[in-house]
Amino acid sequence: MAGFREAQGDLRIESVTKAFADFKAVDDLTLTVPRGSFFALLGPSGCGKTTTLRMVAGLEQPTSGRIFIGNTDLTGSRPYERPVNTVFQSYALFPHLTIRDNVAFGPKRRGAKDAARLADEALELVQLPHLAGRKPTQLSGGQQQRVAVARALVNRPEVLLLDEPLGALDLKLRRQMQVELKRIQTEVGLTFIHVTHDQEEAMTMADTVAVMNHGRIEQMGAPARLYDLPATAFVANFVGQSNLGVGTISGTDGDFLVAEVGGSKVKIPKARSQVQQGHVMFGVRPEKVRIHRDRPTGVGSDMQATVRDVSFTGVATQYLVTVASGATWSVYEQNLDVEPIDLHPGDQVWMSWDPGHAFGVPSDGAEVPDGPVLADVSIGDVPLQDAP
C-alpha cells in the first residue's frame, strides 16, 4: 500500500505541542512508551490525553514536535499510513456493514486475501464469533466494544490506542472488560495506550501510568509507585485520595523533616519530600491513618480532630473528621476489631500514622481543596459524602 510506513519499536513523542487557537491542549510533551507495554494516560477531561492519542493516530497533527515509532518518523503522515489503530470511545463501528465486514475492513484495505478468515480469528479472540453475521445496531454496548477491539487488533498494529473504551459500559461489564483487555494485551503482546479519566481503571490495567494535567505530564510511573509517592498535589488527589495540608518546614529530625501544619508538628521522610525547605504540602493517605478515642502513645505522628461523619461500608468504616486548621480529613479504618469503635459525629478523637507514610509535595500553585478530593466517582470507591 502506497505511503504506508512500516515501523517497529518504542513509541516516542518528542517535545510535542498542540495548540488550538490560543489554547494549548498539549504542552511540550516528551514521552517514551516501551514496545509491548500497557501504558495508561490518566487525567481529567480537557487535560490533553485524548489530543495526545489523536496525534499518535494521525487524526491531529502536532503544532510542533515529532512522533516516532522506533526510528520511523510518523509526524505529518496520514492516519492510514501509520501502523497504529484506534478503539474509539463511541466504538465508531460501520453501521452499514456486518460485524465480520467491520473487522475485515482493515485487512481488506491492506489487500489481505484472507481478510474474512483474519476477521473470524479476531472475533474468536474477543469471544464473539457467533455474532459475525449481525449488524452493529443488533449488539449490546459491551459486544460493540469488543468488536471495536477486534477491528483494531486484527491489523496487528504496532501500537493500539484505546480512547476511554470502557466509558459507556456499566460497572460490572467494565470490570469484566478490564480483565479481558489485559488478557488480550498479554496474549498479543502489542503496545497498548489506554486513555482514561478513571484512576482505578488505569491502575488495574497498566504497567505504567502517566498522569496528565493542563497538557503536561505531572508524574509517570508504575501504579503502586504513583500511589505511594505522589510528586504533586494534583497527583496526590487524582490518583486515590490524600489528606493534605500546607505547612512550613521548621527543622529536621534525623531522616525526617519537621513541618508545622495547621498548628500541629508533622514529620515527613526527607526522601519522600519534593521540597526540603520553606513551604511544603504535607500529605498522608486516608487508609494509613488510624483513629483513636484517647491520645495514643509511642506512635509516630498524631493530631487531634472532631468527627464529622461516619459511614459504615462493611469492609471498612470511613470517617470524615475536622482537624484543628479547619480542614477535613478522611480516615479509612478496616473493621478488624471484635469490638467496633463506637464513634459519633461531634466526638473528639486522635489520629495517628506512621510518619514513614507521609509525603511532601510543592505547595505553590497547587489546587488544594478544603479536605480530601474525590478522585472520580468511579467503581469501587467507598462512597464519600457529607451527611445531609
Partner 1 sequence: MSAVAHGAGAPAAPAGPDTATRGKFLPYLLLLPGALWLLIFFVVPLAQLFTVSLQSQFPGYPGYYYRDVNFRNYLDAFTEFAPHFGRSLLFAGLATFFAFALSYPLAYAMAFKAGRWRSLMMICIIAPFFTSFILRTIAWRQILADEGPVAKVLNTLHLLPGGHITETWMAVVAGLTYNFLPFMVLPIYASLERVDPRVLEAGGDLYANGFTTFRTVTLPMSMPGVLAGTLLTFIPAAGDYVNAELLGSDRSTKMVGNVIESQFFKVPGGYPTAAALSFTLMALILALVFVYVRRFGTDELV
Question: Quick one: which segment of 35-43, 55-63, 308-316, 319-327 binds partner 1 (CB under 8 A)?
Answer: 55-63
Question: What amino acid occupies position 6?
Answer: E
**With contact defined as beta carbons under 8 Å apart, do 377 and 247 qualify?**
no
When the beta carbons of 62 and 286 are compared against partner 1, the nearer one is 62
Give the one residue of 26, 53, 57, 261 binding partner 1; rule: CB under 8 A.
Answer: 57
Q: Minimum distance from CB of 90 to partner 1 (Å)?
A: 6
When the beta carbons of 161 and 320 are compared against partner 1, the nearer one is 161
Tally of residues, the chain: 388
Q: Minimum distance from CB of 188 to partner 1 (Å)?
A: 17
Q: Confirm or reject binding of residue 68 to partner 1 (CB under 8 A).
A: no
When the beta carbons of 58 and 360 are compared against partner 1, the nearer one is 58
Residue with cell 468504616: 317
Give the one residue of 58, 240, 283, 371 binding partner 1; rule: CB under 8 A.
Answer: 58
In this structure, what C-alpha cell is assigned to residue 66? Answer: 515529532
| CA 64 centroid distance within chain | 26
Give the Cα separation of 19 and 136 in Å (integer): 35
In this structure, what C-alpha cell is assigned to residue 202? Answer: 488505569
Question: What amino acid occupies position 256?
Answer: F
Give the one residue of 8, 28, 71, 94 binding partner 1; rule: CB under 8 A.
Answer: 94
Q: 224: which strand partners?
A: none
* Residue ranges in 96-115 that form contacts with partner 1 under rule CB under 8 A: 96, 105-106, 109-110
Q: Minimum distance from CB of 96 to partner 1 (Å)?
A: 5
Sign of CA dihedral 228, 231, 236, 239: negative
When the beta carbons of 152 and 305 are compared against partner 1, the nearer one is 152
In terms of DSSP H, where are the helices of the chain? 49-57, 99-109, 115-125, 141-153, 171-188, 199-205, 223-228, 233-238
Q: Minimum distance from CB of 86 to partner 1 (Å)?
A: 5
When the beta carbons of 94 and 312 are compared against partner 1, the nearer one is 94
The DSSP 8-state label assigned to residue 373 in this structure reads P
Q: Confirm or reject binding of residue 85 to partner 1 (CB under 8 A).
A: yes
When the beta carbons of 89 and 243 are compared against partner 1, the nearer one is 89
Q: Minimum distance from CB of 109 to partner 1 (Å)?
A: 4
**With contact defined as beta carbons under 8 Å apart, do 343 and 349 qualify?**
yes
**With contact defined as beta carbons under 8 Å apart, do 157 and 110 qualify?**
no
User: φ, ψ for residue 181 (rounded to 5)?
Assistant: -65, -40
When the beta carbons of 55 and 289 are compared against partner 1, the nearer one is 55
Element (DSSP H or E) covering residue 16: strand 11-20
Q: Minimum distance from CB of 149 to partner 1 (Å)?
A: 13
Q: Which residues bind partner 1 (CB under 8 A)?
A: 1, 4, 57-59, 78-80, 84-86, 88-90, 92-96, 105-106, 109-110, 151-152, 155
